[in-house]
Structure 1
Amino acid sequence: MKVACVGGGPAGLYFSILMKLQDPSHDITVYERNPVGSTYGWGVTYWAGLLDRLGAHDPESARAVAESSVRWSDGIAHVNGASTTHHGDEGFGIGRHRFLDILTERARSLGVRVEFEHEIGADDVPDADLVVAADGVNSRLRERHADRFGARIDVGRNVYTWLGTTRVFDAFTFSFVETEHGWIWCYAYGFSGDHSTCVVECAPDTWRGLGLDDMNEADGLGALEKLFADVLDGHPLIGRAQADDAVQWLNFRTLTNETWYHGNVVLLGDAAHTTHYSIGAGTTLALEDAVALAEALRDVPDLPSALARYERERRSALLSVQSAARHSAQWYENLPRYIGLAPDRMFALLGQRHSPLLPYVPPQLYYRIDRAAERLDALRRLKRWLGPRVARTLHARR
């Protein structure tokens, strides 16, 4: 099979690796429009289960990823000077540059051609048996057949910016700071021995009230460094300068598609779907897409049936994740509802933000129910059963 992967991110590269491992005779080219090493995103997060899945499909790249990752198991929340710690599951961070280098080197070692600075537009689609659109949320290949794919984008209310810092965090760290214009917060995690990712988020009124919407990069980063001085401990924030020298503030866009393939073109990763960054699942979902597509092409003899299986399996797998991401984003958009709790209780409900029941139950009551559910198995099962049903009913009434 001749395969063209448009987009040199984790999804396209890992898919090319899996296809070559299945059959070295596949003719595979990955086209990446940017130069080598120009990726943006600082570090990415994932959980231990992903390493197990990567190891089952390609132990060599899994080992390299594990060796280049940092680990943590604690979460720490700072709320206006008060702090609380939660001991949770083991998490991992790896620099996006390093992650892509590992996958690129592995793909090339297997015979995949990886061509940087090679942009594929809507009118110059490669001649191949299969064209994989792994070119992100703004996929040009998807837009070429926009009427067939049926993309829909829902824009979140809050604004956020993705930054780096030389402060190395050894736990997943949250900091919530109250200003005269409302709350602003960050979450930060280490991804190497000398850098961490720091995502800053706030409501639009807070953003404008603090003047962050009108500051150049130096002033904007300086203002944020003052707001989060306690957790940064004297370390700077690092931005990504824009052409107009402004900090890149964004509204998150949740992408869905009515169908994931048309003819011999199939969507992969962020070109097919996005989930809010607050659940840290984007990279994991992209790699799981790659696994599912490669397995479908291996097991199903004709292309249309293989692509149909891939779409069916991944749509089903994404339902719970997309629900969790939607509720997570809404938790932050409704932060004033929870921020008045004692820090340990607020942090406990932060960990419960994926629950469809939480928005409809008074926070203090939900906290007490949740604590009781940890001790009573019957109550825990009732809570799990009741949540989606109450959410659907109240949503329909609204």
Structure 2
Amino acid sequence: MPSNRTVSDTVPVGAHVKLAIVGGGPAGLYLSILLKRQDPAHEIAVYERNPEGSTYGWGVTYWAGLLDKLRAGDPESAAAVAEASVTWTDGVAIVRDERTVHRGDAGFGIGRRRMLALLADRAGELGVRVEFEHDIAGPDAPELAGADLVVAADGVNSVLREAHAEHFGSAVTSGRNPYIWLGTTKVFDSFSFAFKETEHGWIWCYAYGFSGERSTCVVECSPGTWTGLGLDTLGEADSLRLLEKLFHDLLDGHELIGRDRADDAAQWLTFRTLTNRVWHRGNLVLLGDAAHTTHYSIGAGTTLALEDALALAAALRAPTDLDTALTTYGKRRRAELVSAQSAARYSAQWYENLPRYMRLEPAQMFALLGQRHSPLLPHIPPQLYYRIDRAAGQLEPLRRLKRWLGPRVARAVHGRR
């Protein structure tokens, strides 16, 4: 089995190698591009189990810092992604029936299907063999035999990782709130939120454009609201009609779009946060969602996956043996992910405790929505936190106090668990 090869069996990183990348998502495709650019003689195959053009989700988000990194890695694919993206700067929230606008940094959206097509085309141009509808059942698959490096880029349910879950130290934590990933024909020119109070509790939506024709809508609520509204039993078509009524002012009469099989049950999920203690075993290495996941509410999943690819390519470029390169990659990325994972954890908890913040005026609630990554926020009354935050924005001593208190509160809380 490829994953059982020892370091002494592997070739030096700088040599021409045979690579098998399992999973044709953004991370796997982009890694193939980077490695082909490093050495065109590398023999690289990407195996994707789904048909070409078939993907889950609608659009993905990213920020300007990612584009700078992509330009450094491969200017051609970065230019193609930038050209196919849409941009927004404002955040808009509808709380009950009141609309609030917040000025912010520029964000970008691109259709996931479009991004994958661009990366697959670029990989093919460079000589990568991209094979669609090609399932790899496990580490014993004949396609992996003889590979110097096997990359598990096959997602949160990675079969390659699960074959050695104990070695990797895999751990999964499920979130509380049900959510559903939808599209809409409404084209949003800002990152938009809507919070609606029902007799069964709050339900909310975040929406953003990813092309000139479509936007993504993610709807979330507590388990009690989900069952109270009957969303646990409705088929997808009836669920979409109910959600369209609830968010009519956000959608402006536009429809929500689900899957093609509208008579099936709606695809509500709970988010699974995955971590792994180590990221490689012999010549098998984890990448993207196969290695880690962060809650969708911080909009960083695709960015972090592409950054994994950049880091792995950099580690493989170093003049060292394969085991050292993969160890370096794993340690670096686990360290870099700490802040994002913390932000995602607090963001998810903010939404799970949404009623705590809904007594505020809409503008104040929206301000704290932007502060949801703070470890201090859950432990201070929302109105008081809002006042401190406003004051800290004007007085440097209070700003320093807030920065000083945050880590100490977090350590005290975690120390009691």
Q: TM-score, normalised by structure 1?
A: 0.99
Shift of 1:244: 6.7
Shift of 1:21: 0.5
Letter in 2 for 1:18: L
1:242/1:356 CA distance change after superposition, 3 Å: farther
Matching residue within 282, 285, 291 for 2:304 = 285
Structure 1 residue 151 corresponds to structure 2 residue 194: no
In the other structure, the counterpart of 1:113 is 129
1:169-208 matches, within 5 Å, as 169-208=188-227
Structure 1 residue 385 corresponds to structure 2 residue 401: no
Shift of 1:134: 0.1
Could you tell me whether the CA contact under 8 Å between 1:241 and 1:247 is conserved in 2?
no
Could you tell me which runs of 5 or more consecutive residues in structure 1 were left unpaired when the two chains were aligned.
none
Shift of 1:145: 1.0
Alpha-carbon distance in 2 for matches of 1:243, 1:302: 51
Structure 1 residue 95 corresponds to structure 2 residue 111: yes
Query: C-alpha root-mean-square deviation of aligned residues, in Å?
Result: 1.0
In the other structure, the counterpart of 2:4 is none
Alpha-carbon distance in 1 for matches of 2:85, 2:124: 22
Query: What SS is found at the alignment partner of 1:339?
Result: coil
Alpha-carbon distance in 1 for matches of 2:330, 2:406: 28
Structure with the larger RCO, 1 or 2 (CA within 8 Å, 6+ apart) = 2
Alpha-carbon distance in 1 for matches of 2:96, 2:369: 16
Could you tell me whether the CA contact under 8 Å between 1:242 and 1:248 is conserved in 2?
no
In the other structure, the counterpart of 1:321 is 340
Alpha-carbon distance in 2 for matches of 1:190, 1:26: 38
Could you tell me whether the CA contact under 8 Å between 1:169 and 1:190 is conserved in 2?
yes
Query: What SS is found at the alignment partner of 1:40?
Result: coil
Shift of 1:301: 1.9
Q: Bigger shift: 216-225 or 117-126? A: 117-126
In the other structure, the counterpart of 2:54 is 38
In the other structure, the counterpart of 1:19 is 35
Matching residue within 90, 98, 113 for 1:74 = 90
Alpha-carbon distance in 2 for matches of 1:223, 1:131: 45
Structure 1 residue 224 corresponds to structure 2 residue 240: no
Alpha-carbon distance in 2 for matches of 1:380, 1:95: 38
Shift of 1:144: 1.1
Letter in 1 for 2:306: L
In the other structure, the counterpart of 1:215 is 234
Query: What SS is found at the alignment partner of 1:213?
Result: coil
Letter in 2 for 1:38: S
In the other structure, the counterpart of 2:7 is none
Query: What SS is found at the alignment partner of 2:40?
Result: coil
1:243/1:4 CA distance change after superposition, 3 Å: farther
Letter in 1 for 2:275: T
In the other structure, the counterpart of 2:18 is 2
Could you tell me whether the CA contact under 8 Å between 2:46 and 2:131 is conserved in 1?
yes
- Show structure 1 runs of 4+ deviating over 6 A: none
Could you tell me whether the CA contact under 8 Å between 1:43 and 1:94 is conserved in 2?
yes
Shift of 1:386: 1.2
Alpha-carbon distance in 2 for matches of 1:301, 1:243: 53
Query: What SS is found at the alignment partner of 1:368?
Result: helix
In the other structure, the counterpart of 2:12 is none
Alpha-carbon distance in 1 for matches of 2:122, 2:404: 44
Matching residue within 226, 229, 253 for 2:272 = 253
Alpha-carbon distance in 2 for matches of 1:41, 1:32: 16
In the other structure, the counterpart of 2:285 is 266
Alpha-carbon distance in 2 for matches of 1:394, 1:286: 30
1:256/1:191 CA distance change after superposition, 3 Å: same
Alpha-carbon distance in 2 for matches of 1:319, 1:380: 23
Alpha-carbon distance in 2 for matches of 1:17, 1:157: 38
Letter in 1 for 2:52: V
Query: What SS is found at the alignment partner of 1:41?
Result: coil
Alpha-carbon distance in 1 for matches of 2:262, 2:358: 37
1:301/1:243 CA distance change after superposition, 3 Å: farther
Query: What SS is found at the alignment partner of 1:375?
Result: coil
Could you tell me whether the CA contact under 8 Å between 1:121 and 1:140 is conserved in 2?
yes
Q: TM-score, normalised by structure 2?
A: 0.94
CA deviation vs aligned residue, 1:333-373 (integer Å, no higher than 9, x gap): 00000011001000000000000000000101100111111
Could you tell me whether the CA contact under 8 Å between 1:54 and 1:62 is conserved in 2?
yes
Query: What SS is found at the alignment partner of 2:232?
Result: helix
The count of residues paired between Structure 1 and Structure 2 equals 398
Alpha-carbon distance in 1 for matches of 2:267, 2:389: 38
In the other structure, the counterpart of 2:141 is 124
In the other structure, the counterpart of 2:393 is 374
Structure 1 residue 51 corresponds to structure 2 residue 67: yes
Matching residue within 64, 80, 90 for 1:64 = 80
Could you tell me which runs of 5 or more consecutive residues in structure 2 were left unpaired when the two chains were aligned.
1-16
Alpha-carbon distance in 2 for matches of 1:85, 1:92: 18
Q: Bigger shift: 133-142 or 55-64? A: 55-64
In the other structure, the counterpart of 1:307 is 326
CA deviation vs aligned residue, 1:219-267 (integer Å, no higher than 9, x gap): 1111111100111111110002559711100000000011110010000
Alpha-carbon distance in 2 for matches of 1:50, 1:38: 25
Identity of aligned residues (%): 72
